[in-house]
Amino acid sequence: MTGHQLVEMEILLTDEIRQVEAHLANSSDSTAAVQVDTSIGRLSRADAMLTQEMAKEARRRMEQRLSKLRLALARLDQGEFGLCVRCKKEIGFERLQMQAEALVCAGCAAE
Ligand SMILES: [Zn+2]
């Protein structure tokens, strides 16, 4: 990976981390417990709980993504970014542009 590509990835990672952090900060209220309101029907309540579960799941996935992005940024600082953790070969730049947090190359990921 060229120095220019590394700079590009650092910008991309920093940007994505900021976006995910902002999203998580804004969505904290949506996962608040569903009030058991007897004035709404059982179906609406089930619906509200399902929506809440989906929001929780989305949030959990986003938190996982955030930690992966932070790890990728740390690897970039250590000069290990872009190297497959399994075969130690360079991960294709196009793959990294699509998935900056990727830790394995396309070949290893397909195994
Ligand atoms: Zn590999």
Q: Is the pLDDT of residue 29 over 80?
A: no
In a domain, 88, yes or no: no
Asked whether residue 37 is domain-assigned, the answer is: yes
Domain, as residue range, for 67? 3-81
**How many domains does the chain fold into?**
1
- Please report whether residue 63 resides in a domain: yes
The whole-angstrom separation of Cα 96 and Cα 104 is 10
Ligand 1 mean position, distance from CA 62 (Å): 25
Whether residue 107 lies inside any domain: the answer is no
User: Per the domain annotation, does 102 fall within a domain?
Assistant: no
Give distance in angstroms: CA of 15 to centre of ligand 1: 26
Whole-structure pTM value: 0.79
Is 99 inside a domain boundary? no
State in Å: Cα 23 to ligand 1 middle.
Answer: 32
The predicted structure's pLDDT at residue 45? 82
Query: Which of 71, 92, 76 lies closest to 17, judged by CA?
Result: 71
Do 101 and 69 touch, CB atoms closer than 8 A? yes
Neighbours of ion ligand 1 (CB under 5 A): 84, 86-87, 105, 108
Which tens digits make up the pLDDT trace of 64-77? Answer: 999 999 999 999 99
Distance 17 CA to ligand 1 centre (A): 25
In this structure, is residue 98 part of a structural domain?
A: no
CA of 64 to the centre of ligand 1 (A): 22
Q: What's the confidence (pLDDT) of residue 26?
A: 84
